[in-house]
Structure 1
Amino acid sequence: MSAEAADRSGLLPGSFAPDARLAALGSLAVLTAAYGSVLYHVTDVVGGSRLMLATLVGTATLAVATGRVLRVRTALLLAVLSLAGGFAVYFLSVPASQRALISPERLLSDTVALLTGLSVLRLTQANVWALSVAPTPVFLSWYLAVRRRYVPSVIVGGTVLAVLVLTGDAGLLTTLAGVVGAAAVVGFGTLDRHGGTATQVDTLVILLAVMVVAAATLSVVPATRTAPVLPDRGSPSGVTSLVDARDRVEVVGTIRLSPQVQFTVESQAESYWTTATYDRYTGTGWVRSGDTSPYEEPLSGPPGEGPAVQQTVTAETELGAMPAAWRPTTVTDIPASRVRVTPQGTLRPATTLDPGERYTVTSRLNRPSPDTLQAAGTDYPDAVVERYTQLPASTPDRVRERAATVADDAGAETPYETAVAFESYLESTKRYSLTVERPEGSVADAFLFEMDAGYCTYYATTMVTMLRAEGVPARFATGYTAGERVGADEWVVRGLDSHAWVQVYVPDEGWVRFDPTPAAPRQSAEQARLSDARRSDAGGVDTAETLNATPVPTPADDDSVVDATPTPAPAGGGNMPGNRAAPDAVADPVAASDAGGGPTLPSRETLALWGVVLVGVGAAVRRTGAGARAVRAVWLRRRGPRRDPDTDAVRAFERLAYLLEQQERPRRPGETPRAYVECVTSDDRARLVLRAYERARYGDGVDRETADAATDAVGELVRERTLPTRPFAR
């Protein structure tokens, strides 16, 4: 087909082929960035983010440089060798004690676990795994794209993205970006290989935008009926429970506490009932690394000679956790096959506990005195330092600076004094509230510098981050406060008792609890929620014991080390000794939020979604020609800046001609300006503009007065003829 025929048929000219190819490669960059950002995040959390960035960029550059000279078989062989070498490096990076446990069956089960929700961040050497996996798909997908094999290229990149979606590490926005990038690679690649029309390009962009907007408006699965922490009105739905022993906790925005009874405890001592501890801070939440192991009696207890305490826990609703005082050593009254143990030492059920099921746990408490903690040194095991002082590389420097300032202002010289200083600082400078807006980026940074209020996950996350910034090993713990005491050795624990706190590692003592959340306003919020539930006759909020309970004197504290004087717990609230309530704390669970005082910027997801919408609208405007018409309509109505008289006269005629073409008929090929104007209108103002144009274009020019008269005349015609209520004069 000739160029002229191609132009008449609407086919894109040959010069569009490079444009389509560039668009396909740009779309592949979006797909690569989607799964690459997930791998980069893994290394940002665990370590090696700069190396990951260099790996992604360098591998793609190598593929582009060698794409035309390297044979396909050679490239495939290099990809296989790269993948095999990467897994070999990962295998060797695993500690020898864990490497001995690796078997074909274990590899298969781990692979299945990854594909069914096991986060990459839970792998022991997650950063090495990410760096080992990244080069192969990046090189192969870009190599194939350079050779114009777009579909295989998308299959390679899309497979990696799909795996990361299955592991739960790729979020909604990342997944959407990857899917749109993959679809665009195929679409633009088809145009590159087979040609197409400009209309098809615009249509493709519009369809991609519609895909993103439609997918982004899908609702999230709501929370389960037994979740101790529920979403409040206006908060995101599907809030993950703090205490169901899952492997990942995300810090969310506004929540609502459930008053439903979760379990009862018969115990020789009051305690916090721990369900999980987390070691890896992602900036927006917590991940528990490592996999669970079968329960084998007895479990190791804390160092020292702490007392043994026996607790019998009875489930009152479905429980996905096994609450117990820290630190559990033996479990009875339940088959051992139903008990799993995390690498951090907490218990979790292999299957959900049904209402009425019970188990008995013996825990050995660590109750060091303040003098003992003050005298403890900093001889931490290397494994503890490596795991429990980790912070994401993207953590802002001002967090470390604030932690150092608080410690210095308090005169802290030991890890214990540092922990007490941070605990007191957060209690006294932040208000307690369940109504907060989820921050973007680092939770600890936002809570320190941008938020006035928060609840337990914000306090605990921030304190752990500050401790780690000062080199003190610490971790995030979840579970329940003691609950409502209904007898000398019996407590009723509700969903509203769910809580998060801090564990600090102390040499020769083990993990010691600190709680920076103000106790008084938290307990007041819990009591208010329980009272509301009772007034509305909500089901499941009381037992026979709570309805007939009489006040029971509170004995000395169990395992708290901050203050020897316990604070009496109100009904429905956990006893939280040692907490000093902030003077401006907010007790109402929905009355306060992080009042920043200024306008709130949209989230990145919102901005990205609106960006896609604007691109789609832009393509639709281009597709319909509305954009060009709008620009010309503005041009037609604007007088424009005054230039030399001849230029102004020519511009006046161009505006007149465009007006007549839109309202009468287009000017025919070869038709002179005079013949056209005289044919379509007899208006004297149009003839005045025509004469000025002819003198400016073909004669000796016009003066300023004539040019202004022509400009004014065409302005009058435009105003008259573009008003729908005015007749069109011929």
Structure 2
Amino acid sequence: MSTADSSAPLARRLVGHRTLAVGGLLALTWSYASVLGHAAGVVGGARQFALVVAASFGLALLVGRYVDVRVAVVFASVLLGLGFAAYLLALPESQLRLLTPQRALSDTLALLTGLSVLRLVGAGVWATAVVPGPVFLSWYLAVRRRYVAATVAGGGALALVVLTGDADGVTTLVGVLGATATVAAATVDRHRIEFDGLDTLVVVLAAMIVASATLSVVPGAASAPILPDRGSPTVEANLIDAQDRVEIVGEIRLSPSVRFTVESDRRAYWKTATYDRYTSSGWVRTGSTAPYRGQLSGPPGPSTTLEQTVTARDAISILPAAWRPTALRGAIAEAAVVTPQGSLRPRRTLEAGETYAVRSQVPDADAERLRRAGTDYPDRVTDAYLQLPESTTQRVRDRAANVTRDAETPYEKAVAIERYLEANKEYSLDVPAPSGDVADTFLFERESGYCTYYATAMVVMLRSEGVPARFVTGYTPGESVGDDERVVRGLNSHAWVEVYFPEVGWIRFDPTPAEPRLAAENTRVTEARQSGEPSVDINGSNGTVGPPSGATAGTPELPAGATAGNRTPSAEAVNVTPGSGPGGAAETAVDDSVPISLPRLPSRRTLLIGAAALVGVAAGARRTRRGERAIRLLSAQHQRRRDPASDVETAYRRIATALDGEYRSRRPGETPRSYLQSVPDAYPHRTDVARVGQLYEQARYGSGVDREEAAEAVAIADRVVRSATPLVRRLR
């Protein structure tokens, strides 16, 4: 055998290894680019992000063979520098004033220790600024076949999004396995090693992806617990302990333990956090906190002073207060910070028994004043509180438009949406985890949900109508144990909505139905008392957790924005009676005006797992040759007739395909006749296939064949191929 002949298999293998290297680098690039692209899409920059990635990739392929490596590295650094310059220019002036070298360093360290990219004010610009450098450099190096260096360049970007906590487990695994495959293939390519395990490597990598993705959803796992009451998180853990990011989960439970008590002459919702950025799967608080330095500003309009004294009854890492807090007193004040959204946060845990005092200026505006507030919103409000991800569906926007079609003011829109959700969705803690956009899922695919679903849907609907709104977490008033004291338990944790009104400020709306929520809370407290669970009661707190007798269900006694007469703006009807106007039961008819949409595509995670499984199956089939044989057998089932000689040759090839799986392949140098005559006597079609061998030689080298002989060969091939195909054989 010649040298050229002996080197041909190695050359083919090396081409395969380079293909694996490129495929692995594609997987690595996808892993970090998809995470950054999601961040860009959340704030409305997905198209620009995609263009930047495509341009960086195309430029790398274009100059890869002509530009020196040092020039390419410098160019990638320049791209990164220009991107960060664009990011700084895109920041609002208020954030730029806070930016110092020390602050920039601390923010960078925070990113490397778990600060989500989505918490950055200019998350979309930042993601678009970061991505061109690694994309260009990694693919430039790939063009020059420096696969290991290309992996290092892309791996740095993947490491960044992993450290920020934005890359989930499956995405990280895809990137890591892609990098591993690229390095392995590069080693084979560089040393010209004859490695015949390419298919095996692909199968292993695919199996790792599928296994890692599916182990989390088997029975008993966190996402689908066998004992839901033990495995599912509490509402409090999901909302209050979430700190800077709330993910909307599925089944959830209530904690009856007392967390704190509040002494105040009026009841209120005790707010702990505000979230401004919607990610389609949850909420993120953007911006950096600042140390509390004393008096905070109050709302822009008239307000009522509310003094509160809060005592921790358990260790807590929150500072609950009625909106809007303006002054904090107590030992914790020195360790308190203020978020850009105006909430107070502690930098340490409050121990049981620790007390602090808060003064709040509660916005004082009745329904008529809110109707007259208008739409002259400050830029800082519209920039932050009208944001929606680009993935927000049109049917959500259409539903919001239909629900508010008779509303003339932002206040009336808020009331209409609040009443619509109260009337058309049921309250339940036992719901599956949402797939895709939470608001879309709740509005169109679910009949029930709890507070996070209601609040999310209302904020998204309001924003789609141009009304600034935000997602808020905290506690409902709790159980009254005296004239001025209330006991607040973990099960009082709640999510609601705040809507902005010019010259008034942020006003609370609560679309979650109050009666079923209070019933669930009272049932849980009763069960805890009967079973003797600890920390359920203190200081004679043995009543119900609902509003006192005479309070209107679903109407908080004194929300932010209540008038001196304890009248709730969000509960005052706008010439609407239940069931007859915006938000009433009759609103179920809005479905008729919304076009029927096609079924939603599977989630990105599901598509990724399916693609990995298909690639693995294909590689495994190729490795065992079963897939290739199956395809060849299927294609050999039928034969189109032409001239006699061609028909005989085609019949022979069909028989050879069948024998390849049932007997063996034809050996090099073996004639067709001898190959067919070597078939064992036990083979049921031995005589027939030997006859086709004779006709084949006669057609190719002898006097030729007539139509009857050709028809005989075709008939024999039909019987042999169908006999060799298991599925066809069973159907016969």
Category of TM-score, reference length = shorter chain: 0.7 to 0.9
User: Could you tell me which residue of structure 1 aligns to residue 528 of structure 2?
Assistant: 533
Q: Return closer, same or farther for 1:2/1:518 CA change in 2, 3 Å cut-off.
A: same
User: Could you tell me which residue of structure 2 aligns to residue 612 of structure 1?
Assistant: 612
Shift of 1:127: 2.7
User: Could you tell me which residue of structure 1 aligns to residue 241 of structure 2?
Assistant: 244
State which of 72, 77, 83 in structure 2 corresponds to 1:80. 77
- Identical aligned residues as a percent: 51
Secondary structure of the residue aligned to 1:465 is helix
User: Could you tell me which residue of structure 2 aligns to residue 253 of structure 1?
Assistant: 250
CA distance, structure 2, for counterparts of residue 296 and residue 517 of structure 1: 36
Shift of 1:318: 2.9
State which of 416, 427, 432 in structure 1 corresponds to 2:427. 432
CA distance, structure 2, for counterparts of residue 141 and residue 661 of structure 1: 44
Cα distance per residue 1:636-669 (max 9 Å; x no partner)? 8x57666666555555555656666777776565
Shift of 1:277: 0.6
CA distance, structure 2, for counterparts of residue 284 and residue 60 of structure 1: 30
CA distance, structure 2, for counterparts of residue 135 and residue 657 of structure 1: 53
Cα distance per residue 1:174-210 (max 9 Å; x no partner)? 3223223322332333344444446232133123223
Instruction: Give the alignment's TM-score, normalised by structure 1.
Output: 0.84
Of residues 687-696 and 531-540 in structure 1, the stretch that sits farther from structure 2 once superposed is 687-696
Shift of 1:295: 1.4
Q: What residue identity is the alignment partner of 1:612?
A: A
Q: What residue identity is the alignment partner of 1:244?
A: D
Q: What residue identity is the alignment partner of 2:620?
A: A
Q: Is the 8 A contact 1:245 1:320 kept in 2?
A: no
1:11 and 2:10 matched:
yes
CA distance, structure 2, for counterparts of residue 29 and residue 684 of structure 1: 53
User: Could you tell me which residue of structure 2 aligns to residue 471 of structure 1?
Assistant: 466
1:347 and 2:344 matched:
yes
Cα distance per residue 1:558-616 (max 9 Å; x no partner)? 12558999899xxxxxxx9779899999xxxxxxxxxx9x9997543233213212212
Q: Return closer, same or farther for 1:208/1:702 CA change in 2, 3 Å cut-off.
A: same
1:520 and 2:515 matched:
yes
**How many positions carry a matched residue from both structures?**
691
State which of 315, 320, 327 in structure 1 corresponds to 2:317. 320
User: Could you tell me which residue of structure 2 aligns to residue 90 of structure 1?
Assistant: 87
Q: Aligned runs of 1:675-694 on 2, under 5 Å?
A: 675=674, 677-678=676-677, 684-685=687-688, 687-694=690-697
User: Could you tell me which residue of structure 2 aligns to residue 590 of structure 1?
Assistant: none
Cα distance per residue 1:493-537 (max 9 Å; x no partner)? 222221111101111211100111111122222223333333443
User: Could you tell me which residue of structure 1 aligns to residue 180 of structure 2?
Assistant: 183
CA distance, structure 2, for counterparts of residue 678 and residue 99 of structure 1: 86
Q: Return closer, same or farther for 1:354/1:675 CA change in 2, 3 Å cut-off.
A: same
CA distance, structure 2, for counterparts of residue 684 and residue 159 of structure 1: 65
Q: Return closer, same or farther for 1:213/1:717 CA change in 2, 3 Å cut-off.
A: closer
Shift of 1:86: 2.9
Unaligned residue ranges in structure 1 (runs of 5+): 221-229, 569-575, 586-595, 724-730
User: Could you tell me which residue of structure 2 aligns to residue 2 of structure 1?
Assistant: 3
Q: Return closer, same or farther for 1:488/1:350 CA change in 2, 3 Å cut-off.
A: same
Shift of 1:246: 0.7
Q: Is the 8 A contact 2:261 2:488 kept in 1?
A: yes
Q: Is the 8 A contact 1:370 1:562 kept in 2?
A: no
Q: Return closer, same or farther for 1:688/1:237 CA change in 2, 3 Å cut-off.
A: farther
1:511 and 2:498 matched:
no
CA distance, structure 1, for counterparts of residue 621 and residue 39 of structure 2: 40
CA distance, structure 2, for counterparts of residue 135 and residue 665 of structure 1: 53
State which of 361, 382, 387 in structure 1 corresponds to 2:384. 387
Secondary structure of the residue aligned to 1:317 is coil
CA distance, structure 2, for counterparts of residue 235 and residue 105 of structure 1: 42
CA distance, structure 1, for counterparts of residue 460 and residue 486 of structure 2: 32
CA distance, structure 1, for counterparts of residue 635 and residue 96 of structure 2: 73
CA distance, structure 1, for counterparts of residue 666 and residue 80 of structure 2: 66
User: Could you tell me which residue of structure 2 aligns to residue 107 of structure 1?
Assistant: 104
Cα distance per residue 1:214-237 (max 9 Å; x no partner)? 4335659xxxxxxxxx99469877
Q: Return closer, same or farther for 1:670/1:299 CA change in 2, 3 Å cut-off.
A: closer
Q: Aligned runs of 1:58-457 on 2, under 5 Å?
A: 58-197=55-194, 199-217=196-214, 232=228, 241-244=238-241, 246-408=243-405, 410=406, 412-457=407-452
Q: What residue identity is the alignment partner of 2:263?
A: E
Q: What residue identity is the alignment partner of 1:512?
A: I
User: Could you tell me which residue of structure 2 aligns to residue 486 of structure 1?
Assistant: 481
CA distance, structure 1, for counterparts of residue 390 and residue 602 of structure 2: 25
Shift of 1:26: 4.0
Secondary structure of the residue aligned to 1:379 is coil
Q: Is the 8 A contact 2:275 2:285 kept in 1?
A: yes
Shift of 1:342: 0.9
CA distance, structure 2, for counterparts of residue 69 and residue 173 of structure 1: 37
Q: Is the 8 A contact 2:629 2:657 kept in 1?
A: no
Shift of 1:271: 0.8
User: Could you tell me which residue of structure 2 aligns to residue 28 of structure 1?
Assistant: 25
CA distance, structure 1, for counterparts of residue 461 and residue 662 of structure 2: 71
State which of 488, 494, 499 in structure 2 corresponds to 1:499. 494
Q: Is the 8 A contact 2:135 2:154 kept in 1?
A: yes
Q: What residue identity is the alignment partner of 1:3?
A: A
User: Could you tell me which residue of structure 1 aligns to residue 40 of structure 2?
Assistant: 43
Of residues 335-344 and 444-453 in structure 1, the stretch that sits farther from structure 2 once superposed is 444-453
Secondary structure of the residue aligned to 1:487 is coil
Q: Is the 8 A contact 2:232 2:253 kept in 1?
A: no
Q: Return closer, same or farther for 1:234/1:18 CA change in 2, 3 Å cut-off.
A: farther
Cα distance per residue 1:131-183 (max 9 Å; x no partner)? 33232222222222222222222212211221111112222333223223322
Shift of 1:76: 2.2
Cα distance per residue 1:223-272 (max 9 Å; x no partner)? xxxxxxx9946987798521226111112222222223222222211111
CA distance, structure 2, for counterparts of residue 319 and residue 351 of structure 1: 9
Cα distance per residue 1:54-93 (max 9 Å; x no partner)? 1111122112211222222222222333333333333343
Q: Is the 8 A contact 1:487 1:552 kept in 2?
A: no
User: Could you tell me which residue of structure 2 aligns to residue 623 of structure 1?
Assistant: 623
Shift of 1:344: 0.9
Unaligned residue ranges in structure 2 (runs of 5+): 218-225, 587-595, 727-732
Q: What residue identity is the alignment partner of 1:478?
A: T
Shift of 1:625: 2.5
CA distance, structure 1, for counterparts of residue 140 and residue 367 of structure 2: 62
CA distance, structure 2, for counterparts of residue 680 and residue 477 of structure 1: 78
User: Could you tell me which residue of structure 1 aligns to residue 592 of structure 2?
Assistant: none
Instruction: Give the alignment's TM-score, normalised by structure 2.
Output: 0.84
Of residues 154-163 and 87-96 in structure 1, the stretch that sits farther from structure 2 once superposed is 87-96
Secondary structure of the residue aligned to 1:546 is coil
Secondary structure of the residue aligned to 2:197 is helix
Q: Return closer, same or farther for 1:486/1:641 CA change in 2, 3 Å cut-off.
A: farther
CA distance, structure 2, for counterparts of residue 665 and residue 549 of structure 1: 81
1:460 and 2:455 matched:
yes
Of residues 103-112 and 206-215 in structure 1, the stretch that sits farther from structure 2 once superposed is 206-215
CA distance, structure 1, for counterparts of residue 442 and residue 695 of structure 2: 70
Q: Is the 8 A contact 2:248 2:453 kept in 1?
A: yes
Shift of 1:120: 1.7
Shift of 1:285: 1.3
Q: Return closer, same or farther for 1:657/1:362 CA change in 2, 3 Å cut-off.
A: closer
